[in-house]
Structure 1
Amino acid sequence: MDEAKGSATEADDITQMSFEQALSALEQIVQQLERGDVPLDESITLYERGEQLRAACQKRLDAAQARIEKIVTGADGKPTGTTPLDGDN
Structure 2
Amino acid sequence: MSPAEQAGTQPELTYEQARDELLTVVQRLESGGVPLDESLRLWERGEELAAACQRWLDGARARVEAARRARTPDEAD
Bin the TM-score by the shorter chain. Answer: 0.7 to 0.9
- Tell me the secondary structure at the aligned position of residue 71 of structure 1: helix
Matched, 1:66 2:67: no
* Greater share of residues in helix: 2
Matched, 1:52 2:48: yes
1:12 — aligned with what? 10
1:32 — aligned with what? 28
How many residues were matched structurally?
A: 64
- Larger relative contact order (C-alpha < 8 A, sep ≥ 6)? 2
Q: Match of 1:12, as an amino acid?
A: Q
Give the TM-score taking structure 1 as reference length: 0.64
Q: Match of 2:21, as an amino acid?
A: A
* Greater share of residues in strand: 1
Identity percentage of aligned residues? 48
Distance apart, 1:37 and its partner CA: 1.4
Q: Distance in 1 between matches of 2:24 and 2:46?
A: 9
Q: Match of 2:67, as an amino acid?
A: I
Q: Which runs of 4+ in 1 moved over 4 A?
A: none
Gaps of 5+ in 2: 1-8, 73-77
Give the TM-score taking structure 2 as reference length: 0.74
Whichever of the two has the greater Rg, that structure is: 1
- Tell me the secondary structure at the aligned position of residue 53 of structure 1: helix
RMSD of aligned Cα (Å): 1.9
